[in-house]
Amino acid sequence: MDIISHGLYGWAVFGNKNRKEFWLSIGFWILPDFLTFGLPFAINIITMLSGGSGSIFGQAGHHNIDAKYIDAIYNITHSLIIRGIVFWALWRIYKKPMKASFARLLHILIDIPTHSLAFFATPFLWPIFNYKFDGIPRSNKIIFIPNIIVLIILYSIYMYKKFHKTKKTK
């Protein structure tokens, strides 16, 4: 799934929580893609500005983004196994499960069926298994249209709840 839809899903699901939890959830939700695409993008811009030969979109490659470390970051940020370990570690540290980190779990679960082998299939079992599900990309209308419908439904529920909340407080 694309980063904008991820952000919108994060907003809709966690939008009526308290401010801190809300921003934490949005952060957890877009973090996997931000680290994978945003960080290399920023590094490329800096390299180009400082006279280096960084190219934002790379030359060839199966996903047209030319850097080995992007695959490494993608594996780490999109693995359910790594997410489970981090979740468990945070639970141990804070003595309670971190609710906001469920946003990252949902991100990975949405990505599995919406990425094909041709473009960043989700390495959800990494590093134990290399299996990746050959999903249907978001650009395909089978995903694109239901994605918009689901977002409209989620936002209708969100607005309805918000409207009723402000009515109650009046």
Which residues have a Cβ under 8 Å from the Cβ of 47 and sit 6 or more positions away? Answer: 53, 54
Residues binding Zn ion: number (CB under 5 A):
3
Q: Whose Cβ is closer to Zn ion: residue 33's or residue 100's?
A: 33
Q: Whose Cβ is closer to Zn ion: residue 44's or residue 104's?
A: 104
Contact flags string 101-130 toward Zn ion, x per CB under 5 A: ----------x-------------------
- By CB under 5 A, which span of 22-30, 31-39, 50-58, 131-139 interacts with Zn ion? 31-39
Q: Whose Cβ is closer to Zn ion: residue 33's or residue 65's?
A: 33
Contact flags string 33-72 toward Zn ion, x per CB under 5 A: x---------------------------------------
- The separation between CA 34 and the C-alpha centre of its own chain, rounded to angstroms, equals 8
Q: Residues 64, 71: contact at Cβ < 8 Å?
A: no
Q: How far is the CB of 30 from Zn ion (least distance, A)?
A: 9
Burial class (CB in 10 A: 0-12, 13-18, 19+), 164: exposed
Give the pair of three-digit tokens for residue 93.
């540290």
Q: How far is the CB of 25 from Zn ion (least distance, A)?
A: 15
Q: How far is the CB of 44 from Zn ion (least distance, A)?
A: 19
Q: Residues 133, 112: contact at Cβ < 8 Å?
A: yes
> Helix, strand, or coil here: 137?
coil
Instruction: Report angle CA 25, 137, 139 to the nearest 5 degrees.
Output: 95
Binding residues (CB under 5 A) for Zn ion: these are: 32-33, 111
